[in-house]
């Protein structure tokens, strides 16, 4: 079954995994065989009795037994028909989970992450089917595909066709890695080898199902990374702090080559919060005074250039902006509790904002409705009104929670 149209694309910079040395495949195949506790038929025993080569027991023939299992020697010696029961053997099944989310199309070195993942998948596929084993493939991110366990050339051909479809398009629905790992746990009823190839980006919803798979199966997790994801580029000192107000600007816009294209000079409340939280944490970790000084300067800037004259933080409409003031309130209370020199100034802003949010609430049937602008009364939630957004209501509860943490 092909992937739904428009959910996958072949990255323009795709090069494929490149040549894979046979010696490397042999070494990895041996490693996988050891990890899977033996990939040869007969190396892994199943519970009970069944078809195999090792004798489990001889017993008298019963109606319904396979007559092909009659043992002539035992029957001749005892004068009673006897059948052979063997210790069953099974072939190792490898469950390969491949991440095809949009982030796999990133790459700044020799190849894209999806190219590297394709090479890993091919090696695992060869090792899984080399000695009669079976391979099942599932994709995570974008279009979720399942190829049932198969052996021989058909398994490798199905893997190649699946890899050739590409990765997910930007903005496509992506449930993440966790649901796919849950599905593997339901499909893989017999112990086997589970190999996961991913960059492990996005929601961390895969830890619990991965531990569950590790308790039942042999597990191999391959993380694919790009060098640029592991370091900050030396772009120089960025003037993100407005020299006139001392407030933190929204950020930078990068060009395709990683250089700074422009600085976004807009001022938002959440930017002050995350910057303040970073300064407080760094001051606690290395003890350098410069971080504490920057935290003090930022709280002073928020007091005089961002908060209203009554000390109330401004709102930023609905949608994502509905959370901005609540984020700043959360970090302000952290600063007030961890830095004595910030306690009074930060606490005044939090308490003033919490008091205004509570006084301006609208008592609804299901509880209080907070205003998108804490300095004015809340409007009745309806289509097109910011108070109808969950982010606005969550922000109101965040400032109340922040105020409750302050000592009385």
CA–CA–CA angle 349, 351, 356 (5° rounding): 95
Q: Is the dihedral of CA 58, 61, 67, 70 positive or negative?
A: positive
Phi, psi angles (nearest 5°) of residue 116: -65, -45
Percent of the chain with pLDDT over 70: 86
Q: Is pLDDT at 173 greater than 90 in this prediction? A: no
- Does 3.40.50 match the CATH number of domain 8-39+91-229? yes
Q: How confident is the model at residue 259 (pLDDT cuts 50, 70, 90)?
A: low
Q: Cα(46)–Cα(259) distance, rounded to whole angstroms?
A: 58
Q: 270 pLDDT exceeds 90?
A: yes
Give bridge partners of residue 95 from the DSSP assignment.
136, 194
Q: What tokens does 386 get?
A: 């910011």
**pLDDT band of 5, cuts 50, 70, 90:** low
**C-alpha–C-alpha distance, residues 3 and 148, integer Å:** 16
249-405 placed in CATH 3.40.50.1000: no
Determine contact, residues 348/329, Cβ cutoff 8 Å.
Answer: no
- In the chain, domain spans: 8-39+91-229, 54-87, 249-405
Q: Are 119 and 97 in contact (CB under 8 A)?
A: no
How many residues belong to the chain?
Answer: 408
Q: How far lies 246's CA from each of 118, 177, 266, 272, 312, in Å?
A: 48, 41, 13, 10, 18
What pLDDT is attached to residue 276?
95
Would you state the pLDDT for residue 35? 57
Q: Which residues contact 375 (CB under 8 A, 6 or more apart)?
A: 308, 310, 312, 314, 356, 360
Among the ranges given (228-232, 325-329, 352-356), the one the predictor scored with the smallest mean pLDDT? 228-232
Give Cβ neighbours of residue 224 (< 8 Å, ≥ 6 apart). Answer: 99, 104, 113, 116, 117, 120, 197, 198, 199
Judge whether residue 247 has pLDDT over 80: yes
Phi, psi values for residue 376, rounded to 5°: -130, 160
* pLDDT for position 192: 87
The listed range with the strongest mean pLDDT (38-52, 85-99, 144-158) is 144-158
Instruction: Choose the weakest-confidence range: 16-25, 155-164, 173-182.
Output: 16-25
Token readout for 181 is: 């790992």
- What pLDDT score was predicted for residue 37? 46
Cα separation, 331 vs 334, in Å, equals 5
């Amino acid at each position: 079954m092909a992937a739904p149209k428009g959910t996958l694309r072949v990255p323009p910079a795709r090069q494929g995994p490149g040549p894979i040395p046979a010696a490397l495949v042999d070494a990895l195949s041996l490693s996988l065989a050891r990890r899977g506790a033996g990939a040869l038929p007969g190396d892994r025993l199943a519970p009970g009795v069944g078809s195999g080569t090792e004798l489990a027991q001889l017993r008298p023939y019963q109606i319904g037994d396979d007559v092909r299992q009659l043992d002539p020697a035992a029957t001749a010696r005892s004068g009673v028909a006897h059948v052979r029961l063997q210790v069953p053997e099974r072939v190792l099944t490898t469950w390969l989970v491949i991440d095809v989310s949009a982030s796999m199309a990133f790459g700044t070195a020799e190849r894209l992450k999806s190219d590297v993942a394709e090479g890993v998948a091919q090696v695992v596929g060869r090792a899984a089917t080399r000695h009669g084993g079976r391979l099942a493939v599932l994709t995570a991110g974008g279009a979720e595909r399942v190829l049932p366990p198969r052996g021989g050339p058909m398994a490798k051909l199905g893997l190649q066709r699946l890899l050739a479809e590409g990765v997910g398009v930007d903005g496509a629905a992506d449930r993440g890695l966790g649901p796919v790992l849950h599905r593997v746990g339901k499909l893989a009823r017999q112990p086997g080898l589970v190999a996961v190839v991913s960059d492990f980006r996005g929601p961390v919803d895969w830890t619990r199902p991965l531990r569950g798979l590790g308790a039942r199966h042999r597990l191999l997790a391959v993380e694919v990374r790009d060098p640029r994801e592991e370091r900050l580029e030396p772009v120089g000192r960025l003037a993100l702090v407005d020299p006139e107000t001392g407030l933190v600007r929204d950020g930078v816009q990068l060009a395709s080559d990683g250089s700074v294209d422009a600085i976004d000079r807009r001022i938002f409340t959440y930017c002050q919060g995350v910057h303040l939280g970073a300064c407080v944490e760094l001051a606690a970790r290395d003890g350098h005074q410069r971080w504490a000084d920057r935290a003090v300067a930022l709280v002073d800037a928020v007091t005089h250039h961002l908060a209203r004259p009554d000390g109330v933080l401004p709102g930023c409409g609905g949608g994502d902006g509905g959370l901005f003031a609540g984020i700043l309130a959360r970090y302000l209370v952290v600063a007030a509790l961890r830095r004595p020199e910030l306690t009074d100034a930060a606490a005044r802003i939090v308490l003033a904002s919490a008091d205004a949010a509570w006084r301006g609430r609208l008592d609804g049937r299901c509880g209080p409705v907070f205003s998108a602008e804490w300095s004015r009364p809340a409007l009745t939630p309806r289509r097109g009104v910011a108070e109808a957004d969950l982010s606005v209501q969550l922000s109101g509860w965040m400032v109340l929670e922040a105020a409750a943490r302050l000592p009385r």
